[in-house]
A and B are shown apart, each in its own frame.
Chain A
Amino acid sequence: MRIVTIIRSAIAISVLATSTVHAESSDLNIYGFMSVGVGILDNDKVTIEGFEGEGNFKQDTIIALQVSKQVNDKTTATGQLVSRGTDDFKTEAAWAFVSYQATEDFTARMGRLRIPFFYYSEFLEVGYAYNWVRLPSDIYNIPFSSFDGVDFTQRFSIGSLDNSIQVNYGRLTDDLNIFDEDYKADLRNIAGISLNSTYGDWGFRLGGQRTEMTLDSQVDTAYVTAVQNATIAEAAYNANQTPATGANLQNAGATLADAQVEFNNSRRIDQGQTGAVLLSQQMGLDLDVENEFSLDGHTADFYNAAIMYDNGDYSFITEITAIEYESGLLVDNRAWLASVAKRIGSTTTHLTYSNSRDVLNSGDSGKLQKALKLQGEDKSVTLGLRYDYDVNTAIKVEAQYHDELEHQGEKGDHAMLYSFAVDVIF
């Protein structure tokens, strides 16, 4: 009798336990974040952070919903749908993955994930998660942020130093918006590794990513031929001015004028690729220009290191990045930022310096890049206030001085950008 009671209560407990687990695992978690903002630029000759003069309410506005469901003890499905003002509020999945937590310290994820390029990359649109209105574009300006594939995270501690190593691999086929123009892109073999460590109030990060980039940009061969023919016709006419050479020159000139219209209407990277072929011939450079100045499976390497400190009242971050492109069409870049913040009660004051500098290749490849005016250098100083209105709402004001030291190979301009934003999580 007694044994029966015990068995009964054991069954009751296990049923209870099962139902509790079931209740927990059937919970659908819905979270989200939203930012609304306005920016005013005092100089309409420059474009900063996507702003071009006047008040712009759309640029910083973004809303995202994250839904996650624990499917069983170790498996969770998560989706994050993001709708951006910059994208006319088209909704896109920034994340859509199933994660499998094999042990307390090892997690595998598969699906659409963020590429962990730099420190803020995995939460780059969550304005609430950082002090700035938006991440400094001197560093955070890579035109793609998600990929389809897998990542694996292993966590381990050495004494009080807590670490996580994340390895990712995948591919992205998507339309990329570069210089405000769309390109069909195929980024293969996106592979990377990131190490994040924390020790007390300190944090450290090292990361590297590689991908093979293919864009649908191409040489405008009609234009190249038209320029070549016009050059030949002009030389022939100059050498021997007859009605025949004159007529040839006139025809070649007319063809070139038509081709020029087409060329002027083509996208900037198409123009760069076409210009590279022509300039390389004119300059007599020793280059396999059709290959070296194209984007056809050429590698791009991204490196990053960061140091963070946060004791609750004072915080500091410095981050340095390097991007190396195999193709001459995109110029290698070095960038860094340093930011300090002081919190008093609900108000955080922060000051940031950032710098981005393009680095030309050596030799003829660099000469051609210079002739194509591909390089630029920017620096920014940002002073801002973040006010935590409540636990889920941050109000931010910011003034950013942006100096284009060099823009497309020419001396650039400078401007002030004033921003106001409200960031919410729910």
Chain B
Amino acid sequence: MKYLSRLIVSVFLLAPLAHAEIAVVVSPKNGNSYTSINKELINRIFLAKVSNFPDGTVAKPVYLKQGSEVRDTFNRDYLSKSESQLGRYWSRLRFSGKAQFPKEVNSAEELKALIANDPSLIGYIDALDVDDTIKVVHQY
């Protein structure tokens, strides 16, 4: 009985982690440290509010394609926006000629291949897809 309740508690605790855990990644050549890049800065980079990493180098976000579960989770956890709200946000920038929607890729593999050698790029993938071709700067 005690064992069962412990099991229930642990299942309950694990439940929030059932969705994809996000790893925000950059190139290993990117000189910025793990501690310098927080969730708030990631939000600002992905919404084109800032265009530099803390060390002053250029930062360009890369999104996963629409429909990806990882993208939905990232939108919610890092950008506080639904896909529609994100669309609205970018439509304001696009139709006032201020910015184009950032580059989008189809898969974690494509993202890693793109980012590996370009220190200006920053993207997000499922934490399970992390390998040593890229560097994790934030995980949530």
- Given A160-B44, A200-B40, A346-B84, A104-B95 contact (CB < 8 Å): no
Contact yes or no, B91 A33, CB < 8 A? yes
* A95–chain B nearest beta-carbon distance, Å: 6
Contact yes or no, A78 B44, CB < 8 A? no
Q: Is there a chain A Cβ closer than 8 Å to B73's Cβ?
A: no
Contact yes or no, A392 B87, CB < 8 A? yes
Q: Is there a chain A Cβ closer than 8 Å to B8's Cβ?
A: no
Identify which of B28-36, B75-83, B132-140 touches chain A.
B75-83
Contact yes or no, A312 B91, CB < 8 A? no
Contact yes or no, A425 B91, CB < 8 A? yes
Contact yes or no, B87 A391, CB < 8 A? yes
Contact yes or no, A33 B84, CB < 8 A? no
Of A66, A162, A311, A346, which contacts B50 at CB under 8 A?
A162
- For chain B residues 66-99, which have a beta carbon within 8 Å of chain A? 66, 80-85, 87-88, 91-92, 94-98
* A370–chain B nearest beta-carbon distance, Å: 39
Of A29, A129, A390, which contacts B95 at CB under 8 A?
A129
With the chains together, A201 CA to B92 CA distance in Å? Answer: 17
Of A31, A122, A391, which contacts B84 at CB under 8 A?
A391
Residue numbers in A under 8 Å from B58 (CB-CB)? 104
Q: Is there a chain A Cβ closer than 8 Å to B107's Cβ?
A: no
Contact yes or no, A126 B40, CB < 8 A? no
Contact yes or no, B51 A66, CB < 8 A? no
Contact yes or no, B95 A33, CB < 8 A? yes
Q: Is there a chain B Cβ closer than 8 Å to A105's Cβ?
A: yes
* B52–chain A nearest beta-carbon distance, Å: 7
Contact yes or no, B91 A126, CB < 8 A? yes
- For chain A residues 358-391, which have a beta carbon within 8 Å of chain B? 388, 390-391
With the chains together, A391 CA to B90 CA distance in Å? Answer: 12
Contact yes or no, A128 B88, CB < 8 A? yes
Q: Chain B interface (Cβ within 8 Å of chain A)?
A: 40, 44, 49-52, 58, 66, 80-85, 87-88, 91-92, 94-98, 100
Residue numbers in B under 8 Å from A392 (CB-CB)? 87
Contact yes or no, B91 A105, CB < 8 A? no
* Listed A/B pairs (10) with beta-carbon separation below 8 Å: A104-B51, A104-B58, A122-B92, A122-B96, A126-B91, A128-B88, A129-B92, A129-B95, A343-B85, A391-B87
Residue numbers in A under 8 Å from B80 (CB-CB)? 201, 311-312
Residue numbers in A under 8 Å from B94 (CB-CB)? 31, 66
Q: Is there a chain B Cβ closer than 8 Å to A157's Cβ?
A: yes
Q: Is there a chain B Cβ closer than 8 Å to A114's Cβ?
A: yes
Q: Is there a chain B Cβ closer than 8 Å to A47's Cβ?
A: no
- Given A104-B51, A162-B50, A392-B87, A95-B92 contact (CB < 8 Å): no
Q: Is there a chain B Cβ closer than 8 Å to A99's Cβ?
A: yes
With the chains together, A112 CA to B68 CA distance in Å? Answer: 38
* B71–chain A nearest beta-carbon distance, Å: 11
- For chain A residues 186-207, which have a beta carbon within 8 Å of chain B? 198, 200-201
